[in-house]
Amino acid sequence: MSDSRDLWMVGDLLDAMSGSNIPNYVTMVMQEVQVWLSSVVSEDYVMDPAEVAGGERPMSADLEYLFSQLEWAGAYADILPVLKGKPRHEDALVLSVGPIILDEGLRMLVDHGALFGRDVCRRIWVVADTWIIGDVLPYMPHIRALRERGVQAHFMLVTPWDYTEISWNDIVGDVK
């Protein structure tokens, strides 16, 4: 983007519309999450009645499989909630899918950006399969504080059919 926040070039708009500001590894992670979500909502997915009756979240076992499929992304970002060792990347990837509810994912974003990864983290990508206004609003002051410290937070909503970035702007007309 151009140096001035008031001046947008045509290329800046086209880049924003095309999603080219999203790193390739994040796009690949979202595509893998899409495949996983598709398998969970497909007719082939059968929930174990004992799991449901026992109060377990039905996608728990499959989530372990997803995390194992995404281990490669650890070369590009600290992956939460499965971070092994100290934070070491400028990017963090919060996986808030399946049984990991949105509130837990947002808490991981804040904890990592403000506490655990505060010395190295500059960008946090939340990849989630839900977006609930009631869960997001309480975290807006935290996200604003992180932004003021130079930590960018990106929210990527993924469904079995597509994905998109949802802006964290908390003021109408506010520019990221």
| Higher per-residue pLDDT: 107 or 59 | 107
Q: What is the pLDDT of residue 127?
A: 97
18 contacts 164 by C-beta, under 8 angstroms: no
pLDDT of 4 above 50: no
152 contacts 33 by C-beta, under 8 angstroms: no
The pair of three-digit structure tokens given for residue 88, joined into one six-digit string: 């070491």
Element (H, E) at 152: strand 152-158
Gyration radius of the chain over CA positions: 17
The pair of three-digit structure tokens given for residue 54, joined into one six-digit string: 């026992």
Q: What is the pLDDT of residues 70-113, one digit of tens each?
A: 999 999 999 999 888 899 999 999 999 988 889 999 999 999 99
Give me the residue label for tokens 């975290």: 139
Element (H, E) at 35: helix 24-41
Looking at every residue in the chain, the average pLDDT score rounds to 82
Closest by Cα among 36, 35, 15, 19 to 27: 19
Q: What is the pLDDT of residues 13-27, one digit of tens each?
A: 666 555 568 999 999
Burial of 134 (0-12, 13-18, 19+ CB in 10 A): exposed
The pair of three-digit structure tokens given for residue 153, joined into one six-digit string: 């937070």
The pair of three-digit structure tokens given for residue 70, joined into one six-digit string: 């995404």
| Sign of the C-alpha dihedral computed for residues 68, 74, 79 and 84 taken in this order | positive
Show Cβ contacts of residue 100 under 8 Å, excluding neighbours closer than 6 positions.
63, 81
Q: What is the pLDDT of residues 126-146, one digit of tens each?
A: 999 999 999 999 999 999 999
Domain ranges of the chain: 10-166
pTM: 0.78
